[in-house]
Amino acid sequence: MNAAPVRMTLWLGAALLLAGCSTIDKLNPFASAPKVKPAELAAIKPSAELTKLWQAGIGNSAEFIFTPAVVGNSVYAAAKDGTLARFDDGRQVWRISAGQVISGGVGASDKLVVVGTAKGVVLAFHAADGRPAWQARASSEILAAPAVAGDLVAVRSGDARIFGFEATDGKRRWVYQRSTPALALRSPVGVTLTDNALYAGFPGGKLVAVALNNGAALWESTVALPRGVTELERIADVASDPVVEGRSVCAVAYQGRAACFDTGNGNLQWARDISSINGLDIGNRALFVTDEKGAVHAFDRNSGATLWKQDKLLMRAVSRPLAVGRHVAIADFQGVVHLLSAEDGSFAARVTTDGSAVVAPPRHLNSANDSFVVQTKNGALHALAAK
């Protein structure tokens, strides 16, 4: 299907989040609603430890959102000025200049590291030493981190197309595209790549499973249906990456719902009305969602029943939640990382980074899921462990 010939986008990025914008009305230049002051942080009584394992620097992200990639004990990170580096347990292994402005996060495997540019260029490097491997081209700017798994590199461009490239030489294997609404969020939403399929959310509230060999749609389901009278009211975009756990793939839409589907056939398992631009994660027994105002919600992962809600971080532009063992990690616009109890949502620990926003999702550091890394807007990498 061809993309709509005329398509307007509304930028939903770090600068707007830092300004405390939480609804699409705030993105409207004609809106007159006053800004809401971010919640002040009250003192907490820690019930857990959040310790710093290591710290490193990579460079400023400016107007883009940079997400580090983690492979084994290696962390790969990038900055707008083209800097790309590998850190093993916090020790810098190599640092290079890509020679171009980078516009999104990093995708990596044990052999390949991939980034994208605002001009739609895909740059691949050898993971061992940072040597250039190959270049390819997408159809427009690349705001999301590429996904790398096996012999496939999946890259999503700003016009909602998804490109599948051969990991060995960058040759295009396929391209997936579908029609999208005339008005959509301009966000760094990427894709989720598994051994069996690629999952991606789209403007208009759709979630699609794509075949890895040829890019054909395996199934399409509805996370949320557009509602309202105006085009702004009808925006219901899936603005964050889907999460796959077992037989479930879950996604959340702005002005829509959080919903889980069967990975095999796309059948709906459950859904709850909620609006989010930052996304969700799945823990042992709960699905955690950060809503558009900064509240964190926990739903039973099997039924969708409400477990708890933490609303003491309203308007602090909190990140996507990350399930960390018995806790949930999130970060905010002042670079504060918060650890919540997965049981009841209470504050368990808190640590500060460099004072600049953590907009990108935190990433797990190990299979035990008790440590993670965050990248700040000013380019600091902080590896933390929850105990």
- Span 290-333, pLDDT tens digits: 999 999 999 999 999 999 999 999 999 999 999 999 999 999 99
For residue 230, the model assigns a pLDDT of: 86
For residue 26, report the phi and psi dihedrals to the nearest 5 degrees. -70, -20
Does residue 12 carry a pLDDT above 70?
no
For residue 179, the model assigns a pLDDT of: 84
Stronger pLDDT, 27 or 232, i.e. the higher one: 232
Rounded-to-integer distance, Cα 263 and Cα 249, Å: 6
Q: What are the DSSP E strand ranges found in 188-324?
A: 192-193, 198-202, 206-210, 217-222, 243-245, 248-252, 256-262, 268-274, 279-282, 286-290, 296-300, 306-310, 322-324
Does residue 277 carry a pLDDT above 80?
yes
Could you count the other beta carbons within 10 Å of the beta carbon of residue 272?
18
Stronger pLDDT, 180 or 140, i.e. the higher one: 140
Q: Of the given ranges (137-151, 163-177, 227-241, 271-285), which has the lowest mean pLDDT?
A: 227-241
Give pTM, 2 decimals. 0.91
- Is-contact 289 209, C-beta < 8 A? no
Q: Average of pLDDT values for 349-360?
A: 95
For residue 110, the model assigns a pLDDT of: 96
Cα distance between the two ends of the chain: 49
For residue 10, the model assigns a pLDDT of: 55
Spell out the domains of the chain, with CATH numbers in brackets. Answer: 37-65+276-387 (2.130.10.10), 66-187 (2.40.128.630)
196-223 burial: b if 16+ Cβ within 10 Å, else e: ebbbbbbbbbbbbbbebeebeebbebbb
Q: What is the pLDDT of residues 179-235, one digit of tens each?
A: 888 788 888 999 999 999 999 999 999 999 999 999 999 999 999 998 888 888 888
Residue 289 pLDDT grade (very low, low, confident, very high; cuts 50, 70, 90): very high
How much of the chain exceeds pLDDT 70, in percent?
90
| DSSP β-ladder status, 8-11 and 183-186 | parallel
Q: What is the mean pLDDT of the chain?
A: 90
For residue 233, the model assigns a pLDDT of: 87
Residue 144 pLDDT grade (very low, low, confident, very high; cuts 50, 70, 90): very high
How much of the chain exceeds pLDDT 90, in percent?
82
Rounded-to-integer distance, Cα 205 and Cα 71, Å: 31
Does residue 127 carry a pLDDT above 60?
yes
Q: What is the pLDDT of residues 72-86, one digit of tens each?
A: 999 999 999 999 999
Residue 7 pLDDT grade (very low, low, confident, very high; cuts 50, 70, 90): very low
For residue 70, the model assigns a pLDDT of: 97
Residue 367 pLDDT grade (very low, low, confident, very high; cuts 50, 70, 90): low
Rounded-to-integer distance, Cα 176 and Cα 211, Å: 10
For residue 32, the model assigns a pLDDT of: 36
